[in-house]
Amino acid sequence: MEEKSPLANRKICITGGAGFLGSFVQDSLHRRGITDFFIPRFEDYNLVEAADIRRMLSDAKPDVIIHLAANVGGIGANREHPAEFFYDNLMMGVQLIHEAWKFGVEKVVAIGTICAYPKFTPIPFRETDLWDGYPEETNAPYGLAKKMLLVQAQAYRQQYDFNTVYLLPVNLYGPRDNFSPRSSHVIPALIHKCYEASLRNDPEVVIWGDGTPTREFIYAGDAAEGIVMAAEHYNGPEPVNIGSGMEISIADLAELIAKLTGFTGKLVFDPTKPNGQPRRALDITRAEEYFGFNAKMDFETGIKNTIDYYIANRDAILQKG
């Protein structure tokens, strides 16, 4: 008989639960037989406002909060909205943790970001490297706003014995992602560009940067499973990376996506556009040691799943813009 989840009898609130990662967190909870959770919608609760957070807590009465909500985007969106990304993410997280402590919530699982790491972090990124330098400039406001939640989590644990854990997921991808050319991350952006170019028989696709940066990616379903496992089993003060243990250059990623979308033209890299952080790859030993998490999805299979989703939902995606 399968062991009952420690979350089974807890009231769970998932901020951002209706979003990309949130939909997979819902799936992970459903697999455990957990279906009764509260998902605050933006039209009902603006979590940047403390009054709305208090009202949400009063309505949800949660034992556990999984804080996924974020104002987030790719390099272009970070360059256009640095102030919004800083303010919205800082105010959401800091006020949520503070009000949750006052309300008597048992546990908060705060989701940080790989953008919190210093620009020139040694590979693989270890959690002990977090404070060894300034983040990469294009996403520093977002990364630092989310990094403050770690400071707050540790401070509230020290002074109030409040159980907030802090996770650092690497770049996510998968079905249900945001494919908007204006705000998407690199994988959905490349899928959109390459698939549409293949339909038009375009001779080339232009890609931001010079192709040399590397990234680690984790399938959203795997990341969600890691988050739920941490909610179930991790209660420590140290930040924990959530990753897959792989590393791929943007150039190799573009070639893979071009192949899988059927684009046969030329990939042209534009070095006048920012590269972002030079390399990203995580040390993922803590997640395995602390709560037994290992990513499962094969990367090429995950990319195929994401492309299949794009094709199946293409009309709605293009209409949304």
Q: How many CB atoms lie within 10 A of CB 1?
A: 3
Helix (H, G, I), strand (E, B) or coil at 18: coil
* Cis bond before residue 175 (omega within 30° of 0): no
CA proximity to 301, closest of 207, 229, 225, 217: 217
Instruction: Let me know if 142 is a catalytic residue.
Output: yes
CB within 8 Å of 4: residues ≥ 6 apart: none
Contact predicate 118/135, CB 8 Å: yes
| Residue 241 DSSP code | E
Q: Which two tokens stand for residue 197?
A: 């170019």
CA 217 vs. chain centroid, Å, equals 10
Which of the following is catalytic: 87, 117, 134, 142?
Answer: 142
Closest residue by Cα to residue 64 from 241, 288, 234: 234
Cβ 244 vs Cβ 299: under 8 Å: yes
Omega within 30 of 0 (cis) for the link into 237: no
User: If you ran DSSP here, which 8-state letter would residue 237 be given?
Assistant: S
What tokens were used for 78? 């970070």
The dihedrals phi and psi of 15, each to the nearest 5 degrees, come to -70, 140
Residues with active-site annotation: 142
